[in-house]
Amino acid sequence: MRITCIGGGPAGLYFALLMKQQNPAHQITVLERNKPGDTFGWGVVFSDQTLTAMREADQKTADEILTAFNHWDDIEVHIEGRTLRSGGHGFCGIGRMKLLNILQARCVELGVDLRYECNVDDDEGLDADLIIACDGLNSRLRQKYTATYQPDIDLRQNRFVWLGTSRLFEAFTFDFQKTEFGWFQAHAYRFDEHTSTFIVEAPDAVWQAAGLEAMSKEDSIAFCEKLFAKVLDGHKLVSNAAHLRGSAQWIRFPRVVCKNWVHHNGRAPVVLMGDAAHTAHFSIGSGTKLAFEDAIALAKDMAAHPGDLQAALDHYQATRSIEVLRIQNAARNSTEWFENVERHARLAPDQFAYSLLTRSQRISHENLRLRDAAYVAAFEQWLAAQSGIAAPKPVPPMFTPFKLRGLRLKNRVVVSPMAQYSCVDGLPGDYHLTHLGARALGGAGLVFAEMTAPSPDGRITPGCPGLYTDAQGQAWRRIVDFVHAHSSAKIAMQLGHSGAKGSTRLGWEGIDQPLESGNWPLISASSQQYLEGVSDVSRAMTRADMDRVLAEFCAATERAAAAGFDWLELHCAHGYLLSSFISPLTNHREDEYGGSLENRLRYPLEVFRAMRRLWPAERPMSVRISAHDWVAGGTTPEDAVLIAAAFKAAGADLIDVSSGQVSKLEKPVYGRMWQTPFSESVRNRVGIATMAVGAISEADHVNSIIAAGRADLCAIARPHLANPAWTLSEAARIGYAGPQGLDWPRQYHAGKQQMEREFERQRASSAQAGGLSALEQANKALGV
């Protein structure tokens, strides 16, 4: 084949040499706009995974790169005069120029035609069977064929400048400095025997307030030297971007996502690779990694589909786009963490550093323990002390106690409220006693009853529970008494009115589908139809309706208190009645209860305040909110902060942070712990306790969330349906036997011992099967 790579960066050079190695008969040309010795940037970092793939693809090149690596194991975090260090991270860095030189020499050795100072604007006139557009972030070919590639470019908030220094950092170093303008941070790491990369970053507003926009390059470097003088220890900062002038050296990171990666122009396919196809924020060190892995993937696909270029390109795009999206999701989490340093800096330095280490959600609590057990043990003891316990041994964060008002929970695990559709006329019976009682015995600190209606027309389905009769109150009292008598768990009531989403079938008979008969009238903030053309149409509430519903919530609150519930939550999320007032998607009122967010909150706050006055002062009260409607024009995460602040001012003790289910037009972005960032934002910006929900399914998830200060409690839903003793099982799985935060029923002790033995055997087997990491194996082979 005749292959032309436009761009002589890592992606283009590596793909060229892999294809030439694969078949020396290929005619491969690399067209690079710069001179051979030109490069912009300083050092780059690699992961073990990337190095393993490179050794499989071309061991000679990988070995040359490896011998030029600088290795370090530790991360240091400097903040508020403290240095916090953790090890086992296994970084390796190399100068970008050195890396390019190795790739260039290998290309020449294999017979690749390298041409420099070739400024290629487009693919016209290129005589090739395949064109690789690896011409970087500002790819001209991507711009030319925008209609095909459909790029989505998100310009991030922070400004950063990429500098170098002769100060040799022995650990990957993060240094945070608070100024009168706001927070600045530095990312620094050594990449050869003389030089370290030194990236300075700050939010755009902080950068502008500091006057950096108007400074010359020299003055802005002097500003950074003064700001980071302590960590630089007398060393200077330098820039190798001599072609840049003034503030242009400070840039905002653009995250690039392309819907398609291949353009067919009737001549040769034009394929995106590297930064031209995608970008991931530098804070997770993935740009060069992705470029190499793109090249490896396409070369493999070409070899796997000889003579069928289209099949190779289809497989390349299908598989790489998924992997890149995974990396970009992690990079997004990391990006947003650095964009909000001011928020995280409200944490104590110990927790701030932990939050930094786990910011992308790729590194979890147990992963950190594998890297540096001593660091995690010391942190766990510190965190336990913040909860008021002085444990002689480390306590996993999920098993630390939590106190709110006069209530103390033994641990941070909550059984989430989950609809069971198993009541008759709103009356909970033996099923609910068994269901909630089993989960209270299962080790969770707090067990929630499902959303319970304050009136018959407030139910979602005929099978949903109520608290609008004395008989229902007595039935709930029976369940509460059982939980208190037979477990150390606490039990919570969640009150909510279904609004426009009511009068539907049981979940397994057709969720959100209207009843075939016996429907009841629906009310909401404004007239609406939840499922267009399917659901019954609700009518807008009158003032009389609002007074009636408020009184019903108050009566239910009094019954909940009399039943002995330890905790009360008001449901203001997911498109139900009170949520319909808050979301602009469902509130179109023109009176004092519509329009601005302040007005839309007016009625839910009226209800909450009335309930809080009736609810015993020593017992906590929380509010569940939808932090994001996932629909344009709906509630946003920024609105969620204001909503939470309003409920805090009204007396709420905790915000249960969920999202969505307000509109069927929603397009949520799912993933592991996908709603936790909303909880973290509310918690650390509003200064109120939060509960995280959504795809939290392992002890590792809970430990990471609590330890990083992203929430105070974690609500676990579906795992608790499958395993009522989820908390006890997860404790055994991670090897924690208590006693802090863990209370096995005496009747279950035989099962406890068997479970602990089985998980201990599995952990021992796993440890025995484990070996050296890919990087350690490569180092050992080379004697490094």
Residues noted as catalytic: 576
What tokens does 82 get? Answer: 């403290």
What tokens does 362 get? Answer: 């790729």
Contact 46/94 with Cβ under 8 angstroms?
Answer: yes
Rounded to whole angstroms, what are the CA distances from 579 to 495, 571, 623? Answer: 13, 8, 11
Provide CB contacts within 8 A for 677, sequence distance 6+: 333, 336, 637, 710
Provide CB contacts within 8 A for 157, sequence distance 6+: 203, 204, 252, 339
Would you list the DSSP string of 60-85?
HHHHHHHHT-EEE--EEEEETTEEEE
E-strand ranges in 479-522 read 490-495
**Gap between the Cα atoms of 648 and 686, Å rounded:** 8
Kind of pairing between the strands at 91-95 and 43-46:
antiparallel
Q: What is the DSSP letter of 250?
A: S
What tokens does 261 get? Answer: 């990666």
Give backbone dihedrals phi and psi of 660, rounded to 5 degrees, phi first. Answer: 75, -170
**Gap between the Cα atoms of 668 and 657, Å rounded:** 15
Contact 431/422 with Cβ under 8 angstroms?
Answer: yes
Torsion from C-alpha of 519, 520, 524, 526, nearest 10 degrees: 70
Q: How many CA atoms lie within 13 A of 302 on its CB side?
A: 20
Distance of CA 625 to the CA centre of its chain: 19
**Gap between the Cα atoms of 410 and 95, Å rounded:** 51
What tokens does 99 get? Answer: 């890396």
Stretch (H or E) spanning 177: strand 172-179
Strand partners, 524: 540
Rounded to whole angstroms, what are the CA distances from 589 to 372, 528, 543, 579, 650? Answer: 56, 12, 12, 14, 23
Kind of pairing between the strands at 539-540 and 689-692:
unpaired
**Gap between the Cα atoms of 410 and 402, Å rounded:** 7
Would you list the DSSP string of 45-63?
EE-HHHHHHHHHH-HHHHH
Label each residue of 405-455 as H, E or C: CCEEECCCEEECCCCCCCCECCECCHHHHHHHHHHHHCCCCEEECCCEECC
SS3 186: strand
Q: What is the DSSP letter of 687?
A: I
In the numeric block, the tokens 């099982």 are attached to: 729
Closest CA to 587 of 517, 508, 528: 528
**Gap between the Cα atoms of 294 and 300, Å rounded:** 10
What tokens does 266 get? Answer: 């009737």
**Gap between the Cα atoms of 617 and 620, Å rounded:** 8
What tokens does 159 get? Answer: 């400004």
C-beta atoms surrounding 192 within 10 Å: 17
Amino acid identity of residue 178, one-letter, is K
- Spell out a b/e string for 475-509, using b for 16 or more CB atoms within 10 Å of the CB, else e: bbbebbebbeeebbbbbbbbbbbbbbbbbbbbeee
